[in-house]
A and B are shown apart, each in its own frame.
Chain A
Amino acid sequence: MNYVPDFTIVTDNWIVLLRGLWVTIQIWLPSIIMGLCFGFAIAQARLSERKWLSRSTLVYVELFRDTPVLIQLIWFYYAFPILIGMQLSPFAAAMLGLTLNTSAYASEIFRGGIKSIHRGQMEGAKAIGMTHAQAMRRVILPQVIKRMLPALTNRTIEVAKMSSLASVISVHELMYQGRLLSSTYYRPFEILTAVAFIYFILIYPGTFLAGRLEKYLARSN
């Protein structure tokens, strides 16, 4: 191999990559946060005793889980505007697609978590005089969150990675900037290595902290 890597191309353009990183964060964090909130609401609907409500949310969940994310993002950019008769910016389409996709996956995580807590826990709490809200806050949710933490961490990481797909509808995030730079300078090795490294730096601290938190919560097992 006589290729001599030249990473000055990365340091010369770090501001561009940084701008891309900033857009990535701007898609990632809001879509994971809104996706989790929306997902919690959908989980309630899925657990509802009203059949029409639990069935229709099931359809929603399956639609997102059983189609490729790439299609979903492209669909929200090119097809959805036809449906609503209004053009979306690439950023808005990506945000919408990732948020809804996250909500579908997160709702299943929440649903499983809530269902897995035995009915006896609610009764144990009520038997000492707690209100429903107190029982939820003090007894049910702490156990649900503990059980769901690994799955939620995974989801958060998945969304960070998925956000790179937004480059195909030309959202100017990290992956987009990386591809643009590498085709401009014909230096894919240096630039794509740097991009991968930046993703790693972005995601790893979260994985690490979640692992620590999980260990701390598991002390009662």
Chain B
Amino acid sequence: MNTQPILEVKGLHKSFADHHVLKGIDFSVKPGERVAIIGGSGSGKSTFLRCLNFMETLSEGEIWVDNERIGVEKNGRITYPEKQLCSVRERLGMVFQQFNLFPHMTVLQNVMEGLITVKGYTKQDAHAVAVRELAKVGLSEKHDAWPGRLSGGQQQRVAIARALSMEPEVLLFDEPTSSLDPELVGEVLRVINQLAEEGRTMLLVTHELGFAYHFATKVIFLADGVFHEVGTPDEVLKNPKKPRTQEFLRRFSEFAF
């Protein structure tokens, strides 16, 4: 078994002005691992995920991708060359809560865009990849549709296809179903499940605890800017040790039936 981590975080801190959101996080992901991150609203789950692919700049700490430290040390200060960040983002695909599809491009163009602009593919090659990825998320019928005409669930599946087209080593999902109508959640979760079966490495921020339980190999409860409790889904979601985790889960199950 390959035990080299794909992604490693060391001593991560993140503050917005004087608001200290992440307070020292150490973490690593190995190939094939699926990590679910849960926690209260405003606890910093999105911020954590966004620090990994440098959508936010770190206040402190190190990110390592494929055993390479991101950033360049210069006179004792660390700088992040754009070229390196672009390569990191290409390797860590991200799917957003709000999809962030390009509204002026068709579904097919959305998926082809990164291949052409970033990877330098020819139109034909990009087209072939986009067709394949859209088939995978079940949207072969929608090639020429405009994103604005699709349902939320379809838009999110296009966004997943767009991320997949770049052949990322890790996929980062930030609450991919939170802005969807309840009846559309299933179609997106099924796609994510299918990616799990392929053995992809994934990090998922979610409020769908039931899905997290079946999906994850590891569950993290984030609170007070640290990883408060980490373990298998059974450990964290069924038999949490810490009172804070128990309290969080109790509030979730309050209205369960």
Give residues in A with beta carbon < 8 Å to B: 118, 120-121, 123-132, 134, 138-139, 142-143, 146, 217, 219-221
B117 touches A134 (CB 8 A): yes
Given contacts A127-B53, A220-B104, A220-B106, 19 further A-B contacts (CB under 8 A): A120-B96, A121-B100, A123-B55, A123-B96, A124-B99, A124-B102, A124-B159, A126-B86, A128-B90, A128-B118, A128-B162, A128-B166, A129-B86, A129-B90, A130-B86, A134-B117, A143-B104, A146-B104, A220-B103
- Minimum CB distance partner of A126 in chain B: B89
Please provide the chain B residues from 126 to 163 with a CB less than 8 Å away from any CB of chain A in the complex: 146, 148, 159, 162-163
Q: List 23 A-B contacts (CB under 8 A).
A: A118-B100, A121-B100, A121-B102, A123-B100, A124-B100, A124-B102, A125-B102, A126-B86, A127-B93, A128-B90, A128-B114, A129-B86, A129-B118, A129-B119, A129-B166, A130-B118, A131-B86, A134-B117, A138-B113, A138-B117, A139-B102, A220-B146, A220-B148
Q: Which of B55, B114, B162 has the most CB of A within 10 A?
A: B114
Within the complex, the shortest CB–CB distance from A24 to chain B, in Å, comes to 35
- Give Cα distance in the complex from A220 to B100, angstroms: 15
Overall SS of chain A's interface = helix
Within the complex, the shortest CB–CB distance from A208 to chain B, in Å, comes to 23
Within the complex, the shortest CB–CB distance from A7 to chain B, in Å, comes to 49
Within the complex, the shortest CB–CB distance from A201 to chain B, in Å, comes to 34
Q: Mark B108-120, 1 if CB is under 8 A from A, else 0.
A: 0000011001110
- Give Cα distance in the complex from A138 to B102, angstroms: 10
- Give Cα distance in the complex from A221 to B87, angstroms: 32
- Give Cα distance in the complex from A134 to B113, angstroms: 11
Check B232 for interface membership: any CB of A closer than 8 A. Answer: no
B103 touches A127 (CB 8 A): no
